[in-house]
Structure 1
Amino acid sequence: MTGRPGHRAAEEWQPVCRMAELEVDRGVTALVHGQAIAIFRTGDDAVYALGNHDPFARHTAGGISRGIVGRRGETPFVASVAHRHAFDLRNGRCLDDHHVTVPAYDVKVVEGVVLIGSRKVPAA
């Protein structure tokens, strides 16, 4: 990372694992850019990354990566283990309380390697 604030360089894509190492509909945690990130692979081989913090579980260990992956219509989500709140895997927005979000991160797969990029800018 360069010393210029706000600068997003190509080298900020951090490889975390091989796609084949991710179990379908299960989360894993990785330290990416100094943040605990929950990474999910869904049945259609899409890969998503969210901040691994459950905003509803103030005093319990674990995080979003331990949640249950599913779908509501076309929306892929993870439901937190502690309180069962569902978070959209695409943008981190809570499906049960639209005022709550967790950070979502850019993800790409290159030659079978999962790379995590910048935090996505929340939609207005």
Structure 2
Amino acid sequence: MTILLDTTWRTVCAVDDLEPNWGEAALLGDRQVAIVLVSEDEVYAIDHHDPHSGAPVMARGIVGSRGDRPTIASPLHKEVYDLGTGECFTDPSLVLRTYRTRVVGGSIEVELAS
């Protein structure tokens, strides 16, 4: 049996409000989400809480890449996560929650399951 969750796209901010390769935190309902602009057409949304410590710090992580995969490193313990999948390169037991994003009319939207 497949259970489908209702999803809602939430407008977060304008693309122009963000700096490339830098994260910003957003409160979407009761969720803290970090938005990371890699380029004008490449935006990622991840959980703002560090999977290792639980601290809300991921928007201040170090943005980089592993090959062609964009990454963010936790500012606390330096674990490196794939921005697209949430996979942790440095500790496979950790996973960073990711959210789908889209750009509509110059605004960034994040998909949240209800």
**TM-score over 0.5 for the alignment?**
yes
Match of 2:50 in 1: 54
Given the alignment, which residue of 4, 11, 15 partners 1:15? Answer: 11
Q: CA deviation at 1:17?
A: 0.1
Q: 1:7 and 1:79 mapped to 2: Cα distance?
A: 30
The letter for the 2-side match of 1:13 is: W
Q: Give the RMSD, CA atoms, in angstroms.
A: 1.8
Which structure has more strand as a fraction of its residues? 2
Runs of 4+ in 1 over 4 A off after TM superposition: none
Structure 2: which 5+ residue stretches go unaligned? none
> Which runs of 5 or more residues in structure 1 are unaligned?
120-124
Identical aligned residues as a percent: 34
Cα distance between partner residues in 2 of 1:99 and 1:71: 20
Residue matched to 1:68: 62
Name the TM-score, length of structure 2 as normaliser.
0.88
Q: Which amino acid aligns with 2:91?
A: D
In the alignment of these two chains, the number of paired residues is 111
Structure 2 letter corresponding to 1:84: K
Q: What is the Cα deviation at residue 14 of structure 1?
A: 0.3
Instruction: Spell out, residue by residue over 1:55-106, the C-alpha distance to the aligned partner (whole angstroms, 9 max, x if none).
Output: 2235xx5411101000110110000111111111001111111221011001
User: What is the SS of the residue equivalent to 2:100?
Assistant: strand
Q: Does 1:98 align with 2:92?
A: yes
TM-score (norm 1): 0.81
Q: Tell me how far apart the structure 2 counterparts of residues 36 and 73 of structure 1 sit (CA, whole Å).
A: 28
C-alpha separation in 1, matches of 2:10 and 2:83: 19
Matched, 1:28 2:24: yes
Distance 1:83 1:77, change over 3 A: same
